[in-house]
Amino acid sequence: MLFRFSLYGFLKNQRYYDPFLILAFLEKDLSFFQIGILIGFREICTNLFEIPSGAVADLYGRRRAMIFSFCAYIASFVTFAVSNSLLLLFGGMFFFGLGDAFRSGTHKAMIFEWLRMQGRSGEQTKVYGYTRSWSQMGSAVSVLIAGGLVFYHGNFTDIFWFSIIPYGLNIVNFLGYPAQLDGNRQSDFSLKAVAHLLGNALKRSVQFSSLCFDTFS
């Protein structure tokens, strides 16, 4: 499993689009103002879905949440690659924000759950640090590959098509994760269950905020 965890980090950071995102949008004749609005919209979507995505992952499985996350990323890459319409690009940013929200913190929870199952909870820092080192290596390799692809193809938009490949491979990687890493999940989807868990999470957040306010006031 350590290999799969490290492979996830390496493939996840094959963000070929990252250094050229703004240039790719400029290539689509967008203004800097429009690009800023798109990026701001993406961040809003990520923050809006942060808590609901955690509730869904807890109820229906972390692997499913991660697979959904990377499917959302791929949907955003396809949208960015084929569309010059600002409205459709907003849709692409929505999918990207959704992917970020469902991915954030979920894989770390899977690593810690696996260590707990193996009776190795005391190695959390060591194991997570090792997987993070592969993530950083992936970032370094990604920049070199992205630069080569742009130099060879001569445009920035094609970089979104190439970004699909490592993200698709990561979905295959998730399919090899043991089902136990999903946690105590439900098999059937229920909006009522999601709403109940979300309500409890928000309630605890408010209580924690009140406690912090009382402590420091």
**Domain edges within the chain:** 2-185, 189-217
How large is the average pLDDT for residues 127-138?
87
Give me the pLDDT at residue 91, please: 92
pLDDT band, residue 78 (cuts 50/70/90): very high
Residue 101 clears pLDDT 80, i.e. is over it: yes
pLDDT band, residue 160 (cuts 50/70/90): very high
DSSP type of residue 178? -
Residue 15 clears pLDDT 60, i.e. is over it: yes
- For residue 168 the two structure tokens come to 């698709």
Which has the minimum average pLDDT: 90-99, 105-114, 117-126, 179-188? 179-188
Q: Which CATH superfamily is domain 2-185 in?
A: MFS general substrate transporter like domains (1.20.1250.20)
Give me the pLDDT at residue 155, please: 85
- Identity of residue 148: G
pLDDT band, residue 183 (cuts 50/70/90): low
Sign of CA dihedral 170, 81, 17, 144: positive
Give me the pLDDT at residue 186, please: 54
Residue 214 clears pLDDT 60, i.e. is over it: no
Query: Cβ contacts of residue 24 below 8 Å, gap of 6+?
Result: 17, 80, 156, 157, 159, 160
3 state SS of 200: helix
The pTM assigned to this predicted structure is 0.81
d(CA 98, CA 41): 11
Give me the pLDDT at residue 120, please: 80
- Identity of residue 196: H
How large is the average pLDDT for residues 161-175?
92
Q: What percent of the chain has pLDDT over 90?
A: 28
Give me the pLDDT at residue 19, please: 87
pLDDT band, residue 115 (cuts 50/70/90): confident
Residue 92 clears pLDDT 90, i.e. is over it: yes
